[in-house]
Amino acid sequence: MASIYPSLIASNLLNIKKTITLFDPHCSGYHLDIMDDHFVPNLTWGPMFINAIAKATTKKLWVHLMVENPSSFLDRLSLPPGSIFTFHIESKGDHEKLIDAIKEKKWKPSIAINPKTNPKNIFNLLDKIDQVLVMSVEPGFSGQSFLPDSLKKIEKLADHRKKNNLSFSIAIDGGIHNNNIVELKKVGADEFGIASAIFKQQNPLGALEKLQKLIK
């Protein structure tokens, strides 16, 4: 069943506890962006803020690390078992070793690929992870337009998953809205990180519920 994870980076950050209280009964969990101002030209939350959010909700957390050295965050994050830990294939380090370390934490390893990265670059790792995240915008900023080539990437990953009897989920992040979410689900997307199409709307909770109805 497809799931939507509201991306809290686009919410009213001064009222984030209020937002979590409002959204908890209505969503699968939350998408949380960590950016280091090196891997991407933006700086967001650090481990202390993510850990505070983890204490404020019982919902699943999907932490997306847009950072040069994702392994450095392993011991600084206090996430509940089952949380999704997404690192970029374009980041530094031994990716197989990182996947093993994520599993030792009882988290779910997830690999993100940038718009210019060929999905084939991660085919050798797909039997070791729980999720692939297709970036449908350039990572670093919320509110960008969806890149249509992302649909072909999802199709390619879904085809590879089926042919090889693999179980990883396919996630998508960037430029998702009412007019493309149905097609994205149709070609194979399972999980959606959504920011502006929820939190930049007049009624954010109503916007989430409308998106959820579209993918039921």
Q: Please list the active-site residues.
A: 33, 173
The DSSP symbol for 165 reads: T
- Largest separation between any pair of C-alpha atoms in the chain: 47
CB crowding 118-147: b at 16 or more within 10 Å, else e: ebeebeebbebbbbbbbbbbebbebeeebb
Q: Is 166 exposed, middle or buried (0-12, 13-18, 19+ CB in 10 A)?
A: middle
Indicate the SS3 state at residue 13: helix
Q: Tell me which residue has tokens 């998953």.
A: 161
| Cα atoms in the Cβ-side hemisphere of radius 13 Å centred on 137 | 18
CB 134 within 8 A of CB 154: yes
Q: Where are the alpha helices (DSSP H) in the chain?
A: 16-23, 47-56, 95-104, 150-163, 181-187, 196-199, 204-214
DSSP 146: P
